[in-house]
Structure 1
């Protein structure tokens, strides 16, 4: 086997293994132990993070920051990956902020000059607009890691309004970004149910071993709300929408409430909602003005009337 091919396969092998010995690799590749030692030295010089352990049970290990083997990208694929990462620049906080910046730098640095020129020309012609926020999200890496590991977090959380910060034990489901803000659906042990937390309202957070974690392996970002709604009192909702109203609801609500579109662009929101969402939906539909007509539930209609009466009194 040519040396270059052997080094490539060796890199993939040591990345795949958690621990290995020189003898194991020599037998697997059909070469001498001395040859494997030289190859490992070359891999180390190329940046593969290896370290050795002495003793009867010693051998080699690869650090957690493992280096992936070289991957051949076409020019179009490389540009697409560059801009996928470049699109995140509007978020000042990311769960992998340092790594994303490093990967972006490597992609740009090692591209041929003509491809870099093409990217430079495209930078000001392609964008993914996200609202700029002054909020801080320092605990995104911890929340994401805890969601993957099934770990409980104890946090201090500031609720909306002027409420006092509360201590909560949560088990994150995941994190997602929307309109420049980060959110974390999680199981809240104090409430005994799933709740949605705004990550910028988390004042402090750390792993906790006081509460045994639940098995949430089947719960993820696409189904956590269904688990929540099965435990709360729901009510039916029906809202008629103009074409403009349907467009706005498609962007904001269609993930949570089924939206039925007609050929002329108008539509109807029809499904079920937790009663706890009535105040938010009342403000939302007031913002749509004549583009939406709420037909049910009565609780939502009364909340809209109440909020409109407050606004009328304020500007009277």
Structure 2
């Protein structure tokens, strides 16, 4: 085996093992311990974070932040990866902000001069616009970690002018229209809720010994089916104008499962919505103006009439 191939396989091996001795690796790769020591030294110089321990139970281990083996990208793949990360710059908060900036620098600095020139020219020709929000969401990382590892969090949450402590178990985080949201099981409500991440003012792992629920089957792709029960729901039906009404609703992430489009271009919204969110839906549909006609539920229409009356009263 050539030295370069051996170093590449060694990098993948130590990432997988995490803890090992020089003798173990030397036997696995069929080289002397002296050769293996030299190889490990070269890996360390390449940036693999190795740590050595002395003593009868000593050896080497890879620190928490592992280094991935080299990946060969084509020019088009490298440019695509660069702009995928570059698009995140519009977000005021990210769950991996420092890491994405570091990855972007590595992509750019290790490209040849002609590819960097191409990227420089493309920066002013392509963009992924996201509304710039003033609100920060500083706890995205711990929310994501808790979702991945099935952990319970204690948060301080501010909503409608008040702030209260909540115990939640996140199932993920997602961004919509420049804002971050965290669907989670709320111990206070005994049900699933969606939390605005910029309204979370603190988040720490729970230390009261609350047993996490097994939510591995709940994820962002199927969360809607867990978020409402029959008695809490209302049946929505609304007609949409062709093109504009449909297009305005296509841009709304949380309406995706409710939107239906006919061949001639008109569409309609149909499905269950949370009863306690009717005021929110009323404000949303009023914002669509003549592009929507709400048919049901009657409670939603009542909220909309009330809002219309309040708006009209301002201009009497």
- TM-score, length-scaled by structure 2: 0.96
Alignment match, 2:69: 69
Counterpart mapping for 1:9-158 below 5 A: 9-158=9-158
Aligned with 1:195 (options 171, 193, 196): 193
Aligned with 1:169 (options 161, 167, 173): 167
Q: Tell me the number of residue pairs that the alignment of Structure 1 and Structure 2 aligns.
A: 314
- TM-score, length-scaled by structure 1: 0.96
Give SS of 1:195's match: strand
Alignment match, 2:281: 281
In structure 2, distance between residues paired with 1:40 and 1:204: 42
Residue 32 of structure 1 deviates from its aligned partner by: 0.8
* Contact 1:257–1:273, Cα closer than 8 Å, also in 2: no
Alignment match, 1:209: 207
In structure 1, distance between residues paired with 2:231 and 2:172: 21
Alignment match, 2:298: 298
Alignment match, 2:264: 264
* Contact 1:173–1:220, Cα closer than 8 Å, also in 2: yes
In structure 1, distance between residues paired with 2:92 and 2:277: 29
In structure 2, distance between residues paired with 1:55 and 1:123: 54
Residue 313 of structure 1 deviates from its aligned partner by: 1.1
* Contact 2:176–2:253, Cα closer than 8 Å, also in 1: no
In structure 2, distance between residues paired with 1:84 and 1:60: 36
In structure 2, distance between residues paired with 1:206 and 1:300: 38
Aligned with 1:185 (options 178, 183, 186): 183
* Contact 2:249–2:255, Cα closer than 8 Å, also in 1: no
Residue 256 of structure 1 deviates from its aligned partner by: 4.8
* Contact 2:250–2:256, Cα closer than 8 Å, also in 1: no
Change (3 A) 1:84 1:201: same
In structure 2, distance between residues paired with 1:306 and 1:17: 65
Alignment match, 1:228: 227
Residue 114 of structure 1 deviates from its aligned partner by: 0.5
Q: Point out where structure 2 has 5 or more consecutive residues left out of the alignment.
A: none
| Residues 187-229 of structure 1: per-residue CA shift (max 9 Å, x gap) | 1111111111111111111111211211111111112221121
Q: Point out where structure 1 has 5 or more consecutive residues left out of the alignment.
A: none
